[in-house]
Amino acid sequence: MEKSPVLAIVVPCYKEEAVLHEAHKRLSQLLNRLITEGHISPKSYILYVNDGSTDRTWDIIKDLHQNTPYACGLNLAGNVGHQNALMAGLNAVKERCDAAISIDADLQDDINVIPEMLERYREGCDIVYGVRRERKTDTFFKRTTALVFYRLMKLMGAKSVYNHADYRLMSSRAVRQLCRFRERNLYLRGLVPLIGYQTACVYYNRDKRFAGESKYPFKKMLNFAIDGITSFSVKPVRMIFWLGCIFILVAVCVTIWTLRAYFLHNTVPGWSSLMISLWLVGGAILVSLGIVGEYIGKIYIEVKDRPRYNEEELLLR
């Protein structure tokens, strides 16, 4: 009989005291069922990663570890962001499981597709993406910006799975390969497809948040999008070159028009065209400098090679 795999469920948490008990209840019930049916090993567990929360999140994780089955905890010394916290959790379980599933604590991702993920894993897939069928629970603004972002990522040449966030199953060898990536500007949705192992997708409907507030306001979403684009493509820098060529062409046309008007003694004051040109070219220069500066800033962060996170306490069974 084939040995049942040890499954680790990695749950990054930031100020999630309102949902942790319910999340652990549902995940524990699912693990109980999967263990009873022989799909996973009784050694399977859930690792909650506390990303420097300032509420009672870590106290609740410690209480769950002491008084309930399956619960383990990793406390980070400070807030390092969702992607780094998730990477810290994956790094902690890479030698302690056969497969790992990453999922957020807000109970929006459907845990009932985990058995299907495990089925794809048993069929030989090292990576199984959880993909949303639709985005009806999102606002019109969020749906539109998400669509624009995914299309922009595709245009820039970055590999990504449409409507996939960070809900996925990875085999232990895929997790170890992911941990070899040393970028500080993490965008896991773009890194995971670079691993190259066999993949599959399972589809689900996303629920509304059970409790608490979203930890991804517009500002964080915008920064996340910028990280995703600039971490996987140099096309914005190349676009600056072509933008410069366009402006040179416009300048040549304006010069010919100006000389023609001068020799025909048909000159006009020209203040408006001058001001428009100055503003247009000045804006283009500032935007170009901003794009180049974004890349230089990332180089600055990477070359310092500082640790991405600091583990303060690890609770295992």
* In a shared domain, residues 160 and 265: no
* In a shared domain, residues 109 and 211: yes
DSSP 231-294: HH--HHHHHHHHHHHHHHHHHHHHHHHHHHHHHTT-----HHHHHHHHHHHHHHHHHHHHHHHH
Q: In terms of C-beta density within 10 A (0-12 exposed, 13-18 middle, 19 or more buried), how is residue 288 classed?
A: middle
Residue 139: both structure tokens together: 């606002």
* In a shared domain, residues 140 and 88: yes
Mean pLDDT for all residues in the chain = 81
Q: Is the pLDDT at 78 greater than 80, yes or no?
A: yes
pLDDT at 72: 96
pLDDT at 2: 61
CATH of the domain at 187: 3.90.550.10
Q: What pLDDT, in 10s, does the model give residues 125-137?
A: 999 999 988 766 6
- Report the alpha-carbon distance of residue 89 to residue 227 in Å, rounded: 21
* In a shared domain, residues 149 and 249: no
Residue 173 forms part of a structural domain: yes
- Return the ∠ at Cα 245 (arms to 244 and 248), rounded to 5°: 90
**Nearest Cα to Cα of residue 128 among 140, 138, 115:** 115
Residue 226 forms part of a structural domain: no
Mean per-residue pLDDT for 63-91?
A: 93
* In a shared domain, residues 202 and 260: no
Containing H/E element for 175? helix 172-178
pLDDT at 281: 75
pLDDT band of 249, cuts 50, 70, 90: confident
* In a shared domain, residues 287 and 311: no
* In a shared domain, residues 212 and 247: no
Contacts of 227 (CB under 8 A, 6+ apart): 185, 186, 187
Predicted TM-score (pTM) above 0.75:
no
Number of structural domains in the chain:
2
Q: Is the pLDDT at 207 greater than 90, yes or no?
A: no
Residue 247 forms part of a structural domain: yes
Q: In terms of C-beta density within 10 A (0-12 exposed, 13-18 middle, 19 or more buried), how is residue 96 classed?
A: middle
- Report the alpha-carbon distance of residue 303 to residue 299 in Å, rounded: 6
Mean per-residue pLDDT for 126-149?
A: 74
Whether the CB-CB separation of 128 and 43 falls below 8 Å is answered with: no
* In a shared domain, residues 295 and 311: no
Q: What pLDDT, in 10s, does the model give residues 190-203?
A: 888 889 899 999 99
Instruction: Tell me the residue range of the domain where 297 lies.
Output: 235-304
* In a shared domain, residues 34 and 141: yes
